[in-house]
Amino acid sequence: MITLELDDRYSRQVLFPGVGAEGQRRLAASSIAIVGCGATGSVLASLLARAGVGSIRIIDRDYVEPSNLQRQSLFDEVDAAESLPKAIAAVRKIAAFNSQIVVEPHVADLTPSNIVSLLEGTQVILDGTDNFETRYLINDFAVKNSLPWIYTAAVGSYGVTLNVLPGQTACLACVFPSSPKGALETCETAGILNSAVSLAASIAATEALKFLVGAVEHLRRTLLSFDVWQNDRAEIVADRPRPGCTACGRHEFPHLAGEGRPQITLCGRNSVQIHERSRPLDLAEMSERLRPHGTVRHSNFVLKFWREPYELTLFPDGRAIIKGTTDPAVARSLYARYIGT
Amino acid sequence: MTKIHIPTPLRQYTAKQADVQVKGGTVGDALSDLTARHPDLRRHLYTEEGKLRSFVNVYLNDDDVRYLQKEATAIKDGDNISIVPSIAGGRS
């Protein structure tokens, strides 16, 4: 048992009647996962780590870039200069302000083949992703295992969040039976205000806190959306599963089975991600091999290789992000030429 | 008249209006009237085959119209319709 009396760290939070000493003990014994550590994930991880959630897994497939610094509050210029994987940078930052909790970095793309090992044993899953493919995967896993998860997203000055309590509330597939294809805006077209995403994530973190301390009666059962620029706010009732929902009604989990999942995905405006097979790589060795072909730089976590007009980022598990093309065939051929087939 | 609440990401297609007053006896009629007044909105709400896009949610007062009679759901004066788009965020 943690002796809270000896630790001033959480004293102001324990004074808050909704948490109290018992709530604080529950937080210390809690385990959560944050999937995606960009702007939303930074706020979720920062707030929940400071609040004293005992165990946090941070799963992210990407690395820090200068354009992230405007809103991704866990990262700094050094992280961007080193192209540090976000999960690694996040864990380092958190360790500097709360060394009394366990935070695990996972530099990985959440997929049907690794989702069980990455998410099992957690009590709440928080969504900091930037795509519906991963969200439907989380939804299938969470509904199948009766685990709560919280959807959060923001674009422009608009934010939205939904608590999914399987069997009790609507799930993601109840609310959005299929994912948007092309017609809607993304941050790369509409931009993003850091305050919009920060607010959405703060609300989601509060909901997670309520769940973890056992204040379930205060959990929001609506789809909440707001616009911080136009001062608009709307709540839509989501307090029951939709009859006939494929996921929470019929228990069909096509995303967990990997159906319709491409091995190569568009990733941002001008990048392609290749994750066709697990191919453990020695980045130092790869760096030597690539040196004659362009500019190369590596750390323990990531290798960057520039060959005009492309920029290839390689992770130790063999996953690569190729910038400079949106053509999967071009990306695949660059990968085959420089990394291997 | 029925009021349709437009979410801010779609207001660029409704001349920045947050609420649009429309006519019609059903949800489908109301949405047709909306897109007749603001034609640019049409491709964001409907597929090329004229079906309501599955990631666009339409609520009558507090209820998802999918729980009701979908676009055939009857509406009366003073009802509020809301459109809720799905948002990916980030790069998607």
Per DSSP, the residues of B12-70 read: GGTTT-SEEEE--SBHHHHHHHHHHH-GGGHHHHB-TTSPBPTTEEEEETTEETTTTTG
The per-residue pLDDT string of chain A (341 residues; one tens digit each, 9 = 90 and over) reads 555 454 699 999 999 999 999 999 999 999 999 999 999 999 999 999 999 999 999 999 999 999 999 999 999 999 999 999 999 999 999 999 999 999 999 999 899 999 999 999 999 999 999 888 899 999 999 999 999 999 999 988 999 999 999 999 999 999 888 776 544 555 556 789 999 999 999 999 999 999 999 999 999 999 999 999 989 898 888 999 988 899 999 999 999 988 656 667 766 668 888 876 667 888 999 999 899 999 999 998 899 999 989 999 998 888 899 999 888 888 888 888 888 76
- Chain A touched by B88 (CB under 8 Å): yes
Looking at the structure of chain A, the number of domains it has is: 2
Q: For chain B, give every domain's residue range.
A: 2-85
Euclidean distance between CA atoms A64 and A272, whole angstroms: 17
Q: Show which of residues 29-48 on chain B sit within 8 Å of chain A, judged by CB atoms.
A: 43-44
Q: Looking at the structure, do residues A35 and A117 belong to the same domain, yes or no?
A: yes
- B18–A153: do the CB atoms touch at under 8 Å? no
Q: Is residue A257 part of a domain?
A: no
Per the domain annotation, does A254 fall within a domain? no
Which CATH number belongs to the domain containing residue A319 in this structure?
Answer: 3.30.310
A186 in reach of chain B (CB within 8 A): yes
- First and final CA of chain A: distance in angstroms? 52
For the entire predicted model, the pTM comes to: 0.84
CA angle A256, A43, A313 (to 5 degrees): 60
- What residues form DSSP beta bridges with A124? A32
Q: What are phi and psi of B13, to 5 degrees?
A: -100, 0
Q: Are residues A229 and A276 in the same domain?
A: no
Q: Which fold does the domain B2-85 belong to in CATH?
A: Ubiquitin-like (UB roll) (3.10.20)
d(CA A199, CA A205): 10
Number of residue pairs across A and B with CB atoms under 8 Å? Answer: 114
Residue A158, chain B, CB below 8 Å: the answer is yes
Residue at A227 is within a domain: yes
Residue A16 lies in a domain: yes
ipTM of the complex as predicted: 0.74
Do A166 and A146 meet the contact criterion of CB atoms below 8 Å apart?
A: yes
Segments forming the whole domain that contains residue A195:
4-237
Contacts of A236 in chain B (CB under 8 A): 57, 59, 62, 64, 82, 84
